C-alpha cells in the first residue's frame, strides 16, 4: 500500500499554475473505498462565493504531493460547484 498524503488545507493548482484554492474536505465512497470528490474552497471564497465549493474529481488530479495538488487545466467555472453539504447528500 502506498503512503498517504494529508489533503486538508492543501493548495490546488492547475498544470498551467492557476490557483483554484485549498482542499477543505474529501468525499469518500465508503463501499467502493475510493475518493468521489475533493472539496476545494476558491481563493477569497468568503467575499465572492460564500458557501460555494469546487468539486474536483480524482480523474482530474494529475499529482498530489505534501506541498500541492495539481489538476488538469480547468478554470473554477469548469469545475462542479456545490453548496456545502449538498454534494454528500446527492447520489
User: Using 50, 70 and 90 to split pLDDT, how confident is the model at 52?
Assistant: confident
Range of the domain at 83: 11-89
The count of structural domains within the chain is 1
pLDDT of residue 34: 92
- Is-above-0.75 flag for pTM? no
Distance CA 7, CA 10 (A): 5
Q: Distance between terminal CA atoms of the chain? A: 28
> What is the share, in percent, of the chain residues with pLDDT greater than 90?
40
User: Using 50, 70 and 90 to split pLDDT, how confident is the model at 79?
Assistant: low
Let me know if residue 67 belongs to a domain: yes
pLDDT, average across residues 38-46? 76
Let me know if residue 2 belongs to a domain: no
The larger pLDDT score, comparing residue 75 to residue 74, is at 74
Let me know if residue 4 belongs to a domain: no
User: Using 50, 70 and 90 to split pLDDT, how confident is the model at 12?
Assistant: very high
pLDDT, average across residues 64-71? 94
Let me know if residue 77 belongs to a domain: yes
Let me know if residue 53 belongs to a domain: yes
Let me know if residue 6 belongs to a domain: no
80-82: strand order across its sheet: 61-64, 69-71, 11-14, 19-29, 34-41, 53-56, 80-82
Which CATH number is 37's domain given? 2.30.30.240
Residue 38, beta-bridge partner list = 26, 56
The enclosing H or E element of 87 equals: helix 86-89
Let me know if residue 63 belongs to a domain: yes
Amino acid at each position: 500500500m502506498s503512503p498517504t498524503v494529508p489533503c486538508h488545507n492543501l493548495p490546488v493548482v492547475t498544470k498551467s499554475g492557476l490557483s483554484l484554492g485549498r482542499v477543505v474536505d474529501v468525499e469518500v465512497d465508503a463501499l467502493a473505498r475510493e475518493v468521489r470528490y475533493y472539496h476545494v474552497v476558491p481563493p477569497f471564497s468568503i467575499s465572492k462565493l460564500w458557501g460555494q465549493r469546487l468539486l474536483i474529481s480524482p480523474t482530474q488530479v494529475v499529482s498530489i504531493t505534501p506541498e500541492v495538488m495539481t489538476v488538469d487545466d480547468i478554470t473554477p467555472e469548469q469545475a462542479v460547484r456545490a453548496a456545502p453539504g449538498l454534494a454528500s447528500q446527492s447520489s
